Chain A
Amino acid sequence: NAGVTQTPKFRILKIGQSMTLQCTQDMNHNYMYWYRQDPGMGLKLIYYSVGAGITDKGEVPNGYNVSRSTTEDFPLRLELAAPSQTSVYFCASSSRQGAYEQYFGPGTRLTVT
């Protein structure tokens, strides 16, 4: 199993550009999450999904959009990138049973200039 994969690993965007961060998991997990981590800070939840076709806002959803058309994929869309969106973005997934542990992808380091 590859676990949770994210692409790209790094990206530099100009202000106002848009992009999609890809996230795929092969563990058949129902729950998927997008977090951002600013330097020296914790993880802030952007959006999450409890199953295909269902998405919900987290703590910091402004400037982002998500979709969940399949169990495996949970892309994050940035529209009109701003310098405040410079961060490391982590995707995670978990089962809705057991310890609910979240499996994280390797992250995408995004810089907006």
Chain B
Amino acid sequence: GQQVMQIPQYQHVQEGEDFTTYCNSSTTLSNIQWYKQRPGGHPVFLIQLVKSGEVKKQKRLTFQFGEAKKNSSLHITATQTTDVGTYFCADYNTNAGKSTFGDGTTLTVKP
């Protein structure tokens, strides 16, 4: 079946540093969704990217979809302690109505 891979698995940063997580697939992705899960919590939807080369921003977060629709990235500028958590990408197949999730990148931020 399709695999969605995320790197790195873990990232430790000092508060104020930038952070990037990457999502890759060997096959073309349909729609990319990004979720955040706080420790002990449940995943919360952040954004969906649909078009090749699409870039969207939410305050300090920048989301990109690759030109070939085989990769995506989430970049956080000047991390804060509130950014702590695990970030998941998911390939959402609109025809099937279901998602394939990556294993996530866990971010820790040292104050």
Is there contact, CB below 8 Å, between A42 and B97? no
Number of residue pairs spanning A and B whose beta carbons lie under 8 angstroms apart: 57
Q: Flag whether A74 is at the interface (Cβ < 8 A).
A: no
Contacting B88 at CB < 8 Å: which of A43, A56, A92, A107? A43
Interface size on A, residues (CB 8 A): 26
B window 94-111: CB within 8 A of A: 94, 97-104, 106
How far apart are the CA atoms of A33 and B43 in the complex, in Å?
A: 13
Check A99/B101 contact, CB under 8 A, given A43-B88, A104-B43: no
How far apart are the CA atoms of A103 and B44 in the complex, in Å?
A: 7
Nearest to A4 among chain B residues (CB) is: B42
What sequence of 0s and 1s flags, for each residue 85-111 of chain A, a beta carbon within 8 Å of any chain B beta carbon?
A: 000001010001001111111110000
B window 30-76: CB within 8 A of A: 31, 33, 35, 41-45, 48
Q: Flag whether A50 is at the interface (Cβ < 8 A).
A: yes
Is there contact, CB below 8 Å, between A103 and B45? yes
B103 to chain A, nearest CB (A): 4
A window 25-54: CB within 8 A of B: 31, 33, 35, 40-45, 48, 50
Q: Flag whether A58 is at the interface (Cβ < 8 A).
A: yes
| Given A41-B103, A56-B98, 15 further pairs, Cβ under 8 A | A31-B97, A33-B98, A42-B88, A42-B101, A42-B102, A42-B104, A59-B1, A99-B45, A100-B33, A100-B48, A100-B92, A102-B99, A104-B43, A104-B44, A107-B42
Which residues on A are within 8 Å of B, measured CB to CB? Answer: 31, 33, 35, 40-45, 48, 50, 56, 58-59, 90, 92, 96, 99-107
Instruction: Jot down 20 A-B pairs with beta carbons below 8 A, ordered by A.
Output: A41-B103, A42-B102, A43-B43, A43-B101, A45-B101, A50-B97, A56-B98, A58-B98, A59-B100, A90-B42, A92-B43, A99-B33, A99-B48, A100-B31, A101-B33, A101-B45, A102-B99, A104-B43, A105-B42, A107-B42
